[in-house]
Amino acid sequence: MAKKVLTCPQCGSDDLYYEAALITGYKYHCKKCHYIGAFVVEVDLEEE
């Protein structure tokens, strides 16, 4: 079974944290490039 990880759409980092939930939905903040937004990329990680 593959794990899903949220990554930043700008830098590809998985060092994101959940910032807020507004009427528009979730909002995430990237610690690496300081991206703030609702759009994040979900990546499947294969288990070995």
pLDDT tens-digit map of 31-41: 999 999 889 99
Give the pLDDT of residue 25.
75
Q: Do 32 and 13 touch, CB atoms closer than 8 A? A: yes
Give the pLDDT of residue 22.
66
Per residue of the chain (48 residues), give pLDDT as tens. Answer: 678 999 999 999 999 998 777 676 788 999 999 999 889 999 998 766
Q: What is the pTM of this model?
A: 0.75
Cα–Cα dist 20/6, whole Å: 16
Cα–Cα dist 9/23, whole Å: 22
Give the pLDDT of residue 33.
96
